Amino acid sequence: MIIKNKLLAALFLVLVYCQTASAQQDAQYTQYMFNTMSVNPAYAGSRGQLSIAGLYRSQWVGLDGSPETFTINLHSPIRNSNVGYGLSVVNDKIGEGTVQETYIDGLISYSIDVSLKGKLSFGLKLGGNILNLDFEQLRQRPGFEEAVGTDNIENKFSPNVGLGMYYHTNKFYAGLSAPNLLEVEHFDSADSDANQIDFLAKDRVNFYLITGYVFDLNDNLMFKPALLTKVVGGAPLQVDVSANFLFAEKFSFGAAYRWDAAVSALAGFQISDQIMLGLAYDKETTDFGSTQYNSGSFEIFLRWELVKSFEKLVSPRFF
């Protein structure tokens, strides 16, 4: 039991440090291809109808205090215009509320026709995040008795601005974005006492490149390879490669690989013209993934769209 507690304390330190380190990163999603607005504001309104989506991610299941992320967003074009709008809410939690951060953003996009089939959109995101950190709860965990911080951080607001570009046709898409441009320092608990644990929470700009293409293999089967690359100062380059198949415009399945980090399995169900359900499972490929306290990461995604029965889509978008 002592060994287990030491391991959990060490892993929890990694969790908190990743959340509050000097190179703090945005939340990651395995099903980013179904949740594009979370990384690129120019995606808002691109599906041509009101779209509401929610995603829940439980990371490193089995580890005490492991991260949980919940996001909900809605977006739609404005009728008879080139303008789209959206709203995004993301909540990250570590350690039963020891660290909790909520992002609330409004988005607007403007699209232009650049060819008979292609549209180029420009997006702007404005909002902010609310940070809560309970040092007292943190110090109750083994190995954190000397954690610096006399006062808890409660509902600390920091502003946010993001930009993006997104090009798409019915078969291809590509986007470049920086959803968080302001390098805000949330707090710095550095102390001269070398025996204490210090924390620094400062945002870094995350740059995203996304792209994908849909191939029609036959009348009932489509194939879509996709790529997400994330660059942030002070952290390793993240590259996610995925390959998904869509059968009979109802059932999607595939796999993904996060470079030097994880492999994933994905499945999706188009329950009706309006409702889609997506599931994903990640397994770490690092040494951390082989511990008995890490059972992998899970995601569940649900999307509802305002598709009227008399306007049934001839071929639903695969992205």
Range of the domain at 135: 24-169+265-306
Amino acid identity for residue 239 in this structure: V
Element (DSSP H or E) covering residue 257: strand 251-258
Tally of structural domains, the chain: 1
Residue 17 lies in a domain: no
Residue 163 lies in a domain: yes
| CATH (domain of 280) | 2.40.160
Residues whose CB falls within 8 Å of the CB of residue 224, separated by 6 or more in sequence, listed in order: 33, 212, 213, 214, 215, 243, 244, 245, 246, 254, 318, 319
Element (DSSP H or E) covering residue 284: strand 275-284
Residue 189 lies in a domain: no
Q: Cβ distance 250 to 269 under 8 Å? A: yes
Residue 120: name the closest of 174, 179, 61 by CA: 174
Residue 276 lies in a domain: yes
Residue 47 lies in a domain: yes
Residue 1 lies in a domain: no
Residue 51 lies in a domain: yes
Residue 30: name the closest of 265, 231, 247, 218 by CA: 265
Residues in the chain with pLDDT values less than 50: 1-11, 13-14, 16-24, 192, 194, 197, 310, 312-314
Q: For the chain, percent helix, then strand, then coil, each to nearest 5?
A: 15, 50, 35
Give strand pairing partners of 303. Answer: 53, 276
Q: Cβ distance 52 to 305 under 8 Å? A: yes
Residue 118: name the closest of 157, 159, 172, 193 by CA: 172
Residue 106 lies in a domain: yes
The number of angstroms, rounded, from the C-alpha of 148 to the middle of its chain's C-alpha atoms is: 29
Alpha helices (runs of H) in 21-154, residue ranges in sequence order: 135-139
